[in-house]
Amino acid sequence: MDDFRDDGLLLLAGTPIGNLDDASPALRDALARADVIAAEDTRRLQGLLSRLGITSSARVVSYFDGNEAARVGGLLAALEEGLTVLVVSDAGMPTVSDPGYRVVAAAVEAGRRVRVVPGPSAVLVALALSGLPTDRFCFEGFLPRRAGERRRRLAELASETRTMVFFEAPHRLPEFLADARVAFGDDRRASISRELTKTWEETRRGSLADLAAWAADGVRGEITVVLAGAEPFLLPVADAVPLVLERTASGEPFSAAVAAVAAESGVARKALYAAALEARGRRDA
């Protein structure tokens, strides 16, 4: 159990990503009762409060990428005073490609209570809509804007077997898809969701080549791309056994060698262990 102090509470609240009806009673209560609200955009916060019909007496401070680090000290001071500090981003969950991480880390280090008011997430909504495997996935957020850095990052992900989720600006989507086709191939399955939970919500599914053709003339709205992972590479057990014996010959413990080769090749560990043990026995006979 964390050793929290009795005073001060840092709240992270998920705000609607489009549809105001997604604002939960817990979010409404947090907005109305907070002592301090740290908002990514104070004008958008005031608009949200107005549309939800909420009156707040909280002290509102701006909290965005450019001033996040500088704001942490003041927010911690508010927690020290026993106040409730609410962190909200423009849409979705704070800390997920939005400010929030630094103040959470500082609050945890200081022993302050941290709680979350769950809310909408473009990551999970797009993933659910994609039709791609959801049992294992990774979130990559926005890739680097520079073409060379973006291509290197995509190349590093070429062998990733988990479903991948990306955010992308609409005007950069054609370039993203062009680079993704080079890294993953034209036939890799993907989906593109735009304007999630809004009136013009749309999800397109298909191969990267199909989606690139669709996006070539331009796409509007906030974009979330979901990309299928690579098919696992399964090396035959017979071909994996020599790799184990090679490791053990260089001094690596047998069990460790089996575990490493199994992880790298996708071969079932138990089957590889038995086959390598038998091969070692024949070699040593």
| Three-class DSSP category at 221 | coil
CA distance 277 to 59: 68
CB atoms within 10 A of CB 182: 13
Burial-class residue 47 by CB neighbours within 10 Å (0-12, 13-18, 19+). exposed
**pLDDT digit string (tens) for the chain, length 285 residues:** 344 445 799 999 999 999 999 999 999 999 999 999 999 999 999 999 999 999 999 999 999 989 989 999 999 999 999 999 999 999 999 998 888 999 999 999 999 999 999 999 999 999 999 999 999 999 999 999 999 999 999 999 988 999 999 999 999 999 999 999 999 999 999 999 999 999 999 999 999 999 999 999 999 999 999 999 988 767 888 989 999 999 999 999 999 999 888 877 778 889 899 999 998 888 776
Two tokens at 87? Answer: 């962190």
pLDDT for the residue numbered 5: 42
**In the prediction, which pLDDT does 285 show?**
64
- pLDDT tens across 223-238, in order? 999 999 988 767 888 9
Mark out the alpha helices in 143-207 (DSSP H runs): 147-156, 173-184
Distance CA 206, CA 134 (A): 17
Evaluate whether the domain defined by 123-227 bears CATH number 3.30.950.10: yes
Beta bridge partners of 117: 13
DSSP, collapsed to helix, strand or coil, labels residue 270 as helix
The distance in angstroms from the start CA to the end CA of the chain is 55
Tell me the residue type at 94.
P
DSSP 195: S
- Tokens 């070692």 belong to 280
Residue 4: per-residue pLDDT: 42
Provide the 3-class DSSP secondary structure of residue 185.
coil
Task: Tell me which H or E stretch contains 75.
Answer: helix 68-80
CATH H-level superfamily of 9-120: Tetrapyrrole methylase, N-terminal domain (3.40.1010.10)
Q: Which amino acid makes up residue 168?
A: E
* pLDDT per residue as tens digits for the range 35-88: 999 999 999 999 999 999 999 999 999 999 899 899 999 999 999 999 999 999
pLDDT, position 1: 38
Tell me how crowded residue 280 is: count the other CB atoms within 10 A of its CB. Answer: 16
User: How wide is the angle at C-alpha 101 spanned by C-alphas 93 and 152, nearest 5°?
Assistant: 90
pTM of the model: 0.78
